[in-house]
């Protein structure tokens, strides 16, 4: 990792050995850049939750040094330290006899905020979490679904506007569909708040989806690999990591590989204002069987094939609806899922509603290969060309 990065959390030689000799964490070095999400992942009993709790001193380290924004946490009053750090756990721990608004306001009250400021902050966060304060503020935890309670837990952790958020299996207690929605919402919130987040999970899929960096722990509390999601999936550091991330890591890698404009094919583009005669001539000149149809502002309006270009008339009257499309900031997994959903041979890539190009199964595969090769060889993506015999740099 580049030592020039602005670090919010730094662990140096941190270890935890219990009185019976059990080693929970071994000589851990871990740097967490400001504003990033770092996920800690590994099998049960590998030290990931212990590491999280040492950061806010719920567990005291046996050895090493832990810094928060450059300050040694062992020199900070533990209670004051925890008030500077948001903490979210799987069980949530909402107070059952307090309203949702009161639950969110727990820490601001402890910090002595006045009632107006406290209520305003609680309502602001409920709204951020997609929970209308007028609807949910006066309800009690038992009146909410599991996913809603989990969002309240995140809101409560953010109430005092901490720089750091520690999350221990935050989405583990809900069903997979709700879990996916919570993950999406959390990433959207993080885009605007830019907190420094350390998140523990046992699920490699969640780890690579949420993390800017992933720390893979193995039994015995040893850090096996700390890297970007794409490198953890594409270049496991050892046999343990390779086995842990699974044989289908190539499929998982699709979810963390963005669409690159270099990987798009650019078929013929025909305007809705054109004639079928013009469209036929354009397809013949390009030796193509189909073309993208856009309006005069370049907005996607569908597609047209050679069969639809027969006779006379306007392109706008013969263009077929285009349902298989994704935005340019989508992942390769999104593109493949859309392709399969619509049983399409290609998927259009848009910037807003403006057409940029298409991905086909072949170019999608080449995009993944280029990404893997760039990661493994440490070169820029645009420097990697993929041929039938393999990557060429």
Query: Residue holding tokens 């851990």?
Result: 28
**Residue 68 — very low, low, confident or very high, per pLDDT cuts 50/70/90?**
very high
Contact between 36 and 213 under an 8 Å Cβ cutoff? The reply is yes
Contact between 155 and 104 under an 8 Å Cβ cutoff? The reply is yes
Query: Residue holding tokens 């998982």?
Result: 252
Out of 123-132, 146-155, 200-209, 252-261, least confident range? 252-261
pLDDT digits (tens, 9 = 90+) for 300-338: 999 999 989 888 888 989 988 888 999 998 888 889 889
Q: Which domains does the chain have, with CATH numbers?
A: 7-255 (3.40.50.300), 261-366 (3.10.580.10)
CA 61/CA 43 separation, integer angstroms: 21
CA 263/CA 63 separation, integer angstroms: 48
For the entire predicted model, the pTM comes to: 0.75
In total, the chain counts a number of residues equal to 393
In 3D space, the residue among 51, 55, 96 whose CA is nearest the CA of residue 73 turns out to be: 55
Contact between 231 and 375 under an 8 Å Cβ cutoff? The reply is yes
Out of 65-79, 85-99, 240-254, 307-321, least confident range? 240-254
Instruction: Tell me what pLDDT residue 98 has.
Output: 94
> Is the confidence at residue 391, as pLDDT, over 70?
no
CA 356/CA 349 separation, integer angstroms: 6
In 3D space, the residue among 53, 28, 14 whose CA is nearest the CA of residue 218 turns out to be: 28
Instruction: Tell me what pLDDT residue 374 has.
Output: 58
pLDDT digits (tens, 9 = 90+) for 98-109: 999 999 999 899
Instruction: Tell me what pLDDT residue 392 has.
Output: 40
% of the chain with per-residue pLDDT over 70 = 91
Q: Coil, strand or helix: which one is 79?
A: helix
């Amino acid at each position: 990792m580049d030592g020039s990065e602005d670090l919010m959390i730094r662990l140096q030689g941190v270890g935890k050995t219990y009185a019976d000799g059990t080693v929970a964490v071994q000589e851990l070095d871990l740097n967490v850049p400001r504003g990033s999400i770092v996920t800690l992942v590994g099998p049960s009993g590998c030290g990931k939750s212990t590491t999280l709790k040492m950061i806010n001193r719920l567990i005291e380290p046996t050895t090493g040094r832990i810094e928060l924004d450059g300050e040694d946490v062992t020199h900070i009053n533990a209670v004051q330290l925890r008030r500077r750090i948001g903490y979210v756990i799987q069980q949530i721990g909402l107070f059952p006899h307090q309203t949702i608004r009161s639950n969110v306001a727990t820490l601001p009250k402890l910090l002595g905020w006045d009632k107006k400021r406290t209520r305003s902050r609680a309502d602001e966060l409920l709204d951020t979490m997609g929970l209308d304060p007028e609807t949910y503020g006066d309800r009690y935890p038992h009146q909410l679904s599991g996913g809603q309670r989990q969002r309240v837990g995140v809101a409560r952790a953010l109430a005092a506007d901490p720089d750091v958020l520690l999350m221990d299996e935050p989405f583990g207690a809900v069903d997979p569909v709700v879990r996916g929605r919570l993950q999406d919402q959390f990433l959207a919130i993080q885009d605007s708040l830019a907190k420094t987040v350390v998140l523990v999970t046992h699920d490699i899929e969640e780890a690579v989806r949420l993390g800017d960096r992933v720390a893979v722990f193995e039994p015995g509390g040893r850090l096996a690999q700390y890297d970007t999601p794409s490198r953890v999936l594409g270049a496991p550091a050892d046999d343990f990591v390779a086995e842990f991330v699974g044989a289908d890591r190539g499929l998982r890698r699709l979810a963390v590989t963005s669409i690159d404009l270099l990987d798009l094919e650019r078929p013929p583009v025909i305007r809705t204002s054109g004639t079928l005669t013009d469209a036929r001539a354009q397809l013949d000149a390009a030796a193509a069987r189909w073309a993208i149809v856009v309006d005069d502002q370049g907005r996607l309006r569908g597609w047209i094939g050679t069969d639809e270009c027969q006779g006379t008339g306007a392109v706008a009257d013969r263009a077929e609806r285009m349902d298989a499309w994704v935005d340019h900031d989508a992942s390769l997994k999104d593109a493949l899922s859309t392709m399969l959903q619509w049983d399409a041979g290609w998927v259009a890539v848009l910037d807003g509603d403006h057409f940029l190009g298409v991905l086909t199964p072949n170019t999608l595969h080449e995009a993944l290969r280029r990404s893997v090769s760039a990661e493994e060889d440490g070169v820029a993506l645009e420097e990697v060309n993929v041929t039938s015999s393999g990557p060429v740099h």
